[in-house]
Amino acid sequence: MELTTDDSTSYIKFNEHVQSHQAVVADRNTIETLLPWVHIAISNAKRLLLNVHHRLKTEYLQYYLHEFCYKFNRRYFGEKLFDRLVFAAISYNTEFRSRIYKRTSCG
């Protein structure tokens, strides 16, 4: 597997897991042309967490990020959205466990 990343110092252990790791430093103009959707998705996620889900607990942060990814990946479904939502609701097995009531499902 080959991996191309920016030149961040947090990627020091990637060499243990990939065959080739190339670090590329890009200028601001290149970043804006290559990765516009990445910046839009990150800013939308931040706006969702700050506005809609303000004062969220860190223990539930991963669930909020899953919700954002679900919505972001289905933004162009149009008329098929309801059918896909019903199918996802029926086939999804939740791992959520309420700490208050010690139960695994709602109700």
Looking at the predicted structure, is the pLDDT value of residue 20 above 60? yes
Query: Which pLDDT band, with edges at 50, 70 and 90, does 107 fall under?
Result: very low
The reported pLDDT for the residue numbered 46 is 84
What are 24's two structure tokens?
């590329």
What number of other Cβ atoms are within 10 A of residue 56's Cβ?
A: 13
Phi and psi (nearest 5°) for 35?
-125, 45
What are 59's two structure tokens?
């223990």
Domain boundaries, the chain: 2-34, 36-91
Looking at the predicted structure, is the pLDDT value of residue 53 above 80? no
Tens-digit pLDDT profile for residues 35-48: 777 778 888 888 88
C-alpha–C-alpha distance, residues 106 and 28, integer Å: 47
25-52 in b/e burial notation, b at 16+ Cβ within 10 A? eeeeeeeeeeeeeeeeeeeebeebeeee
The average pLDDT across 21-25 equals: 78
The reported pLDDT for the residue numbered 95 is 65
Q: Is the four-CA dihedral 47, 48, 52, 53 of positive or negative sign?
A: negative
Looking at the predicted structure, is the pLDDT value of residue 82 above 60? yes
Looking at the predicted structure, is the pLDDT value of residue 57 above 50? yes
Share of the chain above pLDDT 70, in %: 87
What does pTM read for this prediction? 0.44
C-alpha–C-alpha distance, residues 45 and 49, integer Å: 6
